Amino acid sequence: MSEALPTVPKAAGDVSDRYHTPVKAIVFATITGEVALILLTVNASASLLGALLAQIMAFIVVSLAGIVFPYRLKSVWESAGARRIAGIPAVTLAGIGGVIALGGMMLMFIVNPTINATFAVTRRLSLAFMVGVVVVGAIWYAVAFAVNRSKGIDLGLVYREIPPE
């Protein structure tokens, strides 16, 4: 069987034996974050709104994953403690709370003229950036999924255990 096309470079998942953390991924995120901050300060048409909206969207996706986690990976959830509140998985309740709170924040930033007036000059660019981040991520995953499927590799099986081995 041919080797799977990773959804991210393999080096991003390497965990240091010494520090027990993904040092290469942390360094990459730090450098790209610093570059983004520099670009935000020297580009007059850029603002933190786009980055803020993209982060909120990312946390909404994480919250959605939390909602379905106990149902999609029940054995993993159970091995992690399987806490329930009123019979509902606690992580599901936290995910619902996250979607509601973060969704409300996102809507405020987008539709509330008092709040988004602060970013009026860059509002359109910021919204395009947020949508772009989501679209690029979806396209990236779809391409990796399609390429792997054409090789007979089911990426869905990779995520059946955490961490994927």
Q: What mean pLDDT value characterizes the chain?
A: 82
* pLDDT at site 80: 82
Cα–Cα distance, 101 to 95 (Å, whole number): 10
Instruction: Answer whether 73's CB lies under 8 Å from 160's CB.
Output: yes
Rg (CA), the chain: 19
Q: Return d(Cα 14, Cα 21) in angstroms, integer.
A: 8
- Residue 89's pLDDT is 94
The pTM of this model reads 0.65
Domain ranges of the chain: 10-158
Q: What is the pLDDT of residues 93-150, one digit of tens each?
A: 999 999 999 999 988 888 887 777 766 667 777 778 778 878 888 898 888 888 888 8
